[in-house]
Amino acid sequence: MGRNHGAPGMLLALAFALAAMVTGARATTRTGPAGPVYGARHERPPDVVVILLDSLRADQLDRWAHGRQVMPRLAAWASRNVVFTAARAPSPSTPTSVAALLTSVPVGALGVDFGHGLPEEVPSLPAILVEHGWHTRAWSANPNCSRRLGHARGFERFVEAWNTPLASGGRLRPERPERIVPPDRLLARVRADLEKLPRGPHFLYVHLLQPHAPYDPPAVHRDPFSSPAARRMDVSLPRLVLLDGSPRLTSRLLHDLRDRYDGHCHWVDAAVGDFLAWLDRDPRFRNAAVFVLADHGEAFGEHGRLLHNTTVHEEMLRIPLLYRPPGGRRVHRVVPARVDLLDVAPTVLALAGIPAPATFRGIDLGPLARGQVSRGRGRFLATTATRPHLHALLVGRYKVLQEQAGTRPRLYDLATDPGEVHDLAAARPDTWRALARALRAEIARLEGEGWKAPAAPADREERELLRSLGYVD
């Protein structure tokens, strides 16, 4: 294989793929039938539930540590439903990824970041559903999924849980109260609110903060995955932010941090597992469509980094994406096709029998979930929320990554180098030039077509909260 990577035939195929990406990017992809016609006169569309676990890595569902499965409840649920094994987030940050999930618009065109909200004129999934008679509710435990940043637009009710009595106990910093909502407490609130729902259909969005740092679950979840030294370590966000990119990231320290993260994942797994079991038992939601996913990944020393926000490498972009199709029949299917968060909104509209607006860039995941097609998205673009933006473009097996403006993009072959260790820019100059040119064109096109995001400055209290979570200096 190595001798043929620069062959003319391969470059010609790559050129065709790039041309299709650039010329057809604005069209909404539609493959296969939309599935059951829930918009038919005598059949109500299914309820849809989206559960987001903040900062959950894609590899956690299969992970074992200290002789225990880290997330046994979600792993068991996944074994009965559809698993998209090549799912990615379009950004390593919450405000941008959630905005893309709700609008199916690439991050580079939205202009959303930590200080700029979702543009009013961008069609969003909950607003479209409300126009068609749906009821929409959301519960968020992360202040970067908020009214301030425009994520609440279209939701009839949007609970900012960090501002409620749910946020209590413990501290993020010694000098101020904890503002993290435990996952079991948030999901108990969701269940209580769902007892009072009007007749559907309903779109429900639940944004849990866990397993976002600090990795400090109750001891019953922490101790089985941690050594005595790991249990004593400082996992506060100020400490982790100082360690990010530091030469002090030794293998022992990274091992202990991953142990604490595993315990944190075990905690949220138990809470979400109980909630999913309740959905299965409740006759109102037994046939609902359910998504379980993340907004981005988390780094543990890969490329010298911790946490998220800072790179467009795979450890910060790869996410789990699990899907229970509507109806009582459960079919397990593993889908290796490349998909991302932009594909959630088109899938929900297809279930609802509502045409997708021209602004939507994602695909309907239904045909993939039913096994009717095998190909997903031909390309994938990632952009950071932080400025100056960092960008990455995937086409086929290759990924070109621009981490700093004015620097030479790097090229990786994810088929042979999934850890993105070996830069192939010098070894495969023709492929590198083609992809680097395509990345520049894609960035320019999105910036030229993009909306102007309104400023959404945080007030003093919100800024302190965001600082405690590691989002602002």
pLDDT digits (tens, 9 = 90+) for 81-123: 999 999 999 999 999 999 999 999 999 888 888 888 999 999 9
Q: Is residue 30's pLDDT more than 50?
A: no
**Residue 19: enclosing H or E segment and its boundaries?**
helix 8-23
Q: What is the CA radius of gyration of the chain?
A: 21
What pLDDT score was predicted for residue 460?
A: 62
* Cα–Cα distance measured from residue 22 to residue 71, given in angstroms and rounded to the nearest whole number: 40
Q: What percent of the chain has pLDDT over 90?
A: 63
Q: Which of the listed ranges 4-18, 105-119, 343-357 does the model predict with the highest average pLDDT?
A: 343-357
Q: What is the pLDDT of residues 406-453, one digit of tens each?
A: 778 999 999 999 999 999 999 999 999 999 999 988 888 887 776 666
CA distance 359 to 123: 7
The C-alpha atoms of residue 206 and residue 101 are separated, in whole angstroms, by 13
Is residue 152 within 8 Å of residue 458, measured between CB atoms?
no
Segment 154-160 shows an average pLDDT of: 96
Closest CA to 260 of 464, 124, 70: 70
Distance separating alpha carbons of residues 243 and 235, to the nearest angstrom: 10
- Cα 450 to Cα 155, 253, 416, 444, 470: the distances in Å are 24, 42, 35, 10, 28
Residue 266 three-state SS:
helix
Q: How confident is the model at residue 15 (pLDDT cuts 50, 70, 90)?
A: very low
Phi, psi of 434 (to 5 degrees): -65, -45
Query: Is-cis flag, bond preceding 106, omega within 30?
Result: no
Integer Cα distance of 453 and 126 in angstroms: 19
DSSP 45: P
Q: Is residue 198 predicted with pLDDT exceeding 90?
A: no
Residue 312 has what pLDDT?
Answer: 93
Q: Is the pLDDT of residue 243 over 60?
A: yes
Q: Residue 116's beta-bridge partner residues?
A: 113, 455
Residue 193 makes CB contacts below 8 A (sequence gap 6+) with: 137, 139, 157, 159
Within 10 angstroms of residue 99's Cβ, the number of other Cβ atoms is 31
pLDDT at residue number 39: 39
- CATH 3.40.720.10 matches 44-377: yes
**pLDDT digit string (tens) for 355-400?**
999 999 999 999 999 999 888 878 899 999 887 788 999 999 999 9
CA pair distance 22, 367, nearest whole angstrom: 24
pLDDT tens-place string over residues 277-330: 999 999 999 999 999 999 999 999 999 999 998 899 999 999 999 999 998 778
CA 409/CA 348 separation, integer angstroms: 36
Whether residue 6 is predicted with pLDDT greater than 70 in this model: the reply is no
Selected residue with higher pLDDT from 167 and 379: 379
- Residue 93 burial class via C-beta count within 10 angstroms: exposed 0-12, middle 13-18, buried 19 and up: buried
Considering only residues 18 and 467, tell me which one the structure prediction assigns the higher pLDDT: 467
Could you read off the pLDDT of 264-276 as tens digits, one per residue? 999 999 999 999 9
What's residue 388's pLDDT?
Answer: 78
